Structure 1
C-alpha cells in the first residue's frame, strides 16, 4: 500500500500548490507593481520590477509569452527597440521585458535582439510568480509546455499603473507594441 500511495505524492503536492487562499487580482489602473524578485543576468542576480519602476518617473513593462517566438522576436520587442529615442522624448525612462522563461534564455534573447546601446532590460520570471501576481498567466501547456505570460504592456508612472495594453490573442501584437500603443503615439 505504501508504494501505491507514494506514487501519488507528486500529484497531491501539485494539487495542493495549485489552490490558493486568495486569488490573483488582475492588475488595474492605479495599482502598484508587486515586489517579486526576478532574475536578470544569472539566477543569483535578483531584481524587483517594483524597485526599478520606483526609481523613474515613467516606465513600460512588456510581457511576452515566449522568448525567441516569432511574434516576440520579429515585431513586439523590435518595436520597442526602434522607438528608443521617441520613447525618451515621451518621458519613458525604463523599458522592462518580462517572460516566464529561465534567465539563460532571456539573456541569450537579449544578446540576440539588442546592441550595447539599447537600454531595454530583459527579466526572467522562471516560476511565473510576478506574472501570476498581476494575473497575466495563461495555460500554454499544449504549445509551450507550461503556463506563460499573456502579451501586454503596462505603462507605469510614479510607481502606479497608468494604462494597460493587453492582447486578446497572445500570438498577435495589436495593442501592446510600441508602434501600436497610444502611450507612444508613434502611429
Structure 2
C-alpha cells in the first residue's frame, strides 16, 4: 500500500554526504540520515528514479532549487532529494547541480524507504533494476504526511513538482 496523507513516515535510515565545500571532488564518509531526525520539523522529500537522468536532472531538481527561498518562507526546514543509489553518486550529483547546502541528496541504497512507503518502481525493462523510486514529492510535518503527489507518467513532473508542493503548503 502506498503512503498517504495522515500516515507517519517510516523509521528508516538513508545515507548522505553532508555538504562540505572543501570536498569539491569527493564525498567524505557518508553519514546516516535517520528519518526520525525530522521529528518536529517540516520537510519535503522528493523522490526520483535516478541521479543524472534527464527529467530528474533537468527539471525536478532545478525546480526545487529555484523555489528554495519560497519553501523556507513557508516554514520548510529541509528539502531532501531521494534516489535508490549510493551516497557517493548522490553527493556527486548534488555537487554537479551546484545546489550546495540547499537540498540534501539522500541515498536510499537498499530501497528501504521506497519499499516501506509503497513508492518502489520496477525499471528492469529500462535496465535500471527493480528497486527504483517512483517520481514523487511529499510534505511531512513532525513526521506526518501532509501532502503527497505521485506521478503516473515517470518522465513528466506535475504533482511532484515544486509548484504543486508550494500550492499545497
TM-score relative to the length of structure 1? 0.78
User: Which residue pairs with 2:89 in the alignment?
Assistant: 105
Equivalent residue for 1:39?
Answer: 15
What are the Cα deviations for residues 95-127 of structure 1, in whole angstroms up to 9, with x where unaligned?
1111001111101000011243x4211110112
CA distance in 1, matches of 2:30, 2:68: 29
2:124 is the counterpart of 1:141: yes
C-alpha contact 2:30 2:87 (8 A) present in aligned 1? no
- Aligned partners of 1:120, 1:55: CA distance in 2, in Å? 19
- Cα displacement string for residues 28-64 of structure 1 (whole angstroms, at most 9, x for unaligned residues): 111111111111026751111232x2141x2111010
In structure 2, the partner of 1:3 is none
Query: Would the aligned equivalents of 1:153 and 1:176 in 2 still touch at CA under 8 Å?
Result: yes
Q: Which has the larger radius of gyration?
A: 1
1:68 partner SS = coil
Q: Which runs of 4+ in 1 moved over 3 A?
A: none
Alignment partner, residue 39 of structure 2 = 54
Partner residue in 2 for 1:184: 166
Query: Aligned equivalents of 1:80 and 1:104: distance in 2?
Result: 21
Give unmatched runs, 5+ long, in structure 1.
Answer: 1-24
Query: For 1:60-75, what aligned pairs fall within 5 Å after superposition?
Result: 60-75=44-59
**What is the Cα-based RMSD across aligned positions, in Å?**
1.7
Unaligned runs of 5+ in 2: 18-27
How many residues of Structure 1 are paired with residues of Structure 2 in the alignment?
157
Give the TM-score normalised by structure 2.
0.86
- Is the 1:65–1:99 contact (alpha carbons within 8 Å) kept by the matching residues of 2? yes
Contact residue 43 and residue 103 of structure 1 kept, 8 A:
no
State how far apart, in whole Å, the 1-side matches of 2:99 and 2:160 are: 22
